[in-house]
Amino acid sequence: MSLPIYNNPPTFLFFEINRRCNLRCNHCDFWKRDDKGRESYLQEPSLDVILRDFADLGGQKVVICGGEPLLDLQRYRMVCDTAHKHGLRVLSVVNGTRAPLRDSEFEKFFFDGGPDELSVSFDDFREGEHDYFRGRRGAFIATSGFVERWRRARTRLGSDKKLTVMYLVHGGNYLEIDRAYDWALNVLGVDKLKLNFIQPSFGGASTEPDHTYAKYSCIDFDRLIAVLREVSEKHGVTFRPEWLNAVYSYVKPLSYEHPFTLLSGWRSGFETAKSICNSYERNIMVSAEGRAQLCFNSSFGGVDLKQTNLKDFWQNARKMREEMKECRAACGISHSVRAENCYEKGLTQ
């Protein structure tokens, strides 16, 4: 007996445009890859069909992923323009170290079309710590300069596009989240700050010890709550209890893990106390070659969109969804896939 069709619409389509990066982040392994197989990457006609199908399903937002997306400006704008043609919003997270050089090119790229909302990644509000995590001296200055340039262009053009800091919370900075809010909102002048907790190194392809995760994953939940309470009172934000419960389910088990075990990263077998992800209910991830999945983890399977269409995949993935409901992998805390938003309505996404 066939399973019933899944009729709820997706919300996000994450599209991977490349697999390389100009930084050397010690909590990610994408910089160890390259785009040697780019001849098999989706081109505009295929992307147009996929995004049309996504819109027909009731999808809302396309998220441009990499690597570092701004290393491929032509493909980046191709995704933006194709998504907008089908009435979709475009979101993107960049590292802020690469962009068109001349001001006129910069403004045209980001404000004449371009992403509807942009996020820049920061691993710390302190220059030295951010550069350490990013593996490149000068990364903090470059990204801060990108933010200033973007804000200046927005003001000059009278645009209402939003700029967000995607901030990495880890064992070395969680007690100073209040200072991070001050810095992001009052020094950088961005519109909001999103909290993303450290996970095993992104990409998961490396077999080397995950020293960063073993060193920086330990967070005392009670002290974290005290810090967030101060943030809430000072900055007028309200953290959702459901999100705090999800953070607890991630952070608390980590306190019992031995650092030697966590050196194995994704291979350590670490699991959250309960399932805190619902990617399978709202997300479609599409690789550069056109493979569609319901999360970034390939172990649950997927389909080649050269062989089938997005609508059939989304509506007939019931069995995959049932398996994913039981998943308690560490990536469940990621902003992209977690079931609960950080802030009360009006202050997030």
Using DSSP bridges, classify how beta strands 89-94 and 117-122 pair: parallel, antiparallel or unpaired.
parallel
Contact 186, 213 (CB under 8 A): no
- CA distance linking residue 342 with residue 349, whole number of Å: 9
C-alpha 331: how far from chain center: 11
Amino acid 207: pLDDT: 78
The answer to whether the peptide bond before residue 138 is cis (omega within 30 degrees of 0) is: no
Query: Could you give the CA distance from residue 162 to residue 118 in angstroms, rounded to a whole number?
Result: 7
Tokens of 202: 């992104």
- Read off the amino acid at residue 139: A
The alpha carbon of 58 is separated from its chain's Cα centroid by a whole number of angstroms, namely 22
Helix (H, G, I), strand (E, B) or coil at 154: helix
The tokens describing 260, both together, are 């030697």
* Domain spans, the chain: 12-333
Residues 68, 60 contacting (CB under 8 angstroms): no
What are the b/e assignments for 144-176, b being 16+ CB within 10 Å? bebbebbeebbeeeeeebebbbbbbbbbbbbee
Spell out the long-range contacts of 105-113 with Cβ–Cβ below 8 A and sequence spacing 24 or more: 106/149, 106/153, 107/153, 107/156, 107/157, 109/73, 109/77, 110/150, 110/153, 110/161, 111/153, 111/154, 111/157, 111/159, 111/161, 113/77, 113/80, 113/81, 113/84
- The amino acid at residue 91 is L
Positive or negative, the CA dihedral 67, 72, 73, 77 is: negative
Output the CA torsion 93→95→100→102 (10° steps): 120
Q: 142: how many CB neighbours lie within 10 A of its CB?
A: 18
Strand 291-293 with 89-94, pairing: unpaired
Q: Quickly tell me which residue has 């392994």 as its tokens.
A: 29
pLDDT of residue 206: 67
The pLDDT of residue 258: 84
What is the per-residue pLDDT for 5?
A: 86
Tell whether pTM > 0.85: yes
How many other CB atoms sit within 10 Å of the CB of residue 230?
13
Q: Interior CA angle at 140 toward 203 and 17, to 5°?
A: 35
Give residue 204's pLDDT: 67
With beta carbons less than 8 A apart as the criterion, state whether 286 and 14 touch.
Answer: yes
Q: Which fold has domain 12-333?
A: TIM Barrel (3.20.20)
Q: Which two tokens stand for residue 301?
A: 């399977």
Tokens of 285: 């991830």
Nearest to 174 by CA among 134, 212, 105, 222: 222
| Token code pair at residue 185 | 């909102």
CB 328 within 8 A of CB 268: no
- Token pair of 137 as six digits: 């001296």
What string of pLDDT tens digits covers the 349 residues of the chain?
Answer: 466 789 899 999 999 999 999 999 999 988 888 898 899 999 999 999 999 999 999 999 999 999 999 999 999 999 999 999 999 999 999 999 998 888 899 999 999 999 999 999 999 999 999 999 999 999 999 999 999 999 999 999 999 999 999 999 999 999 999 999 999 999 999 999 999 999 999 876 667 899 999 999 999 999 999 999 999 999 999 999 999 999 999 999 998 888 889 999 998 989 999 999 999 999 999 999 999 999 998 889 999 999 999 999 999 999 999 999 999 999 999 999 999 999 986 443 3
What confidence score (pLDDT) does residue 10 get? 97
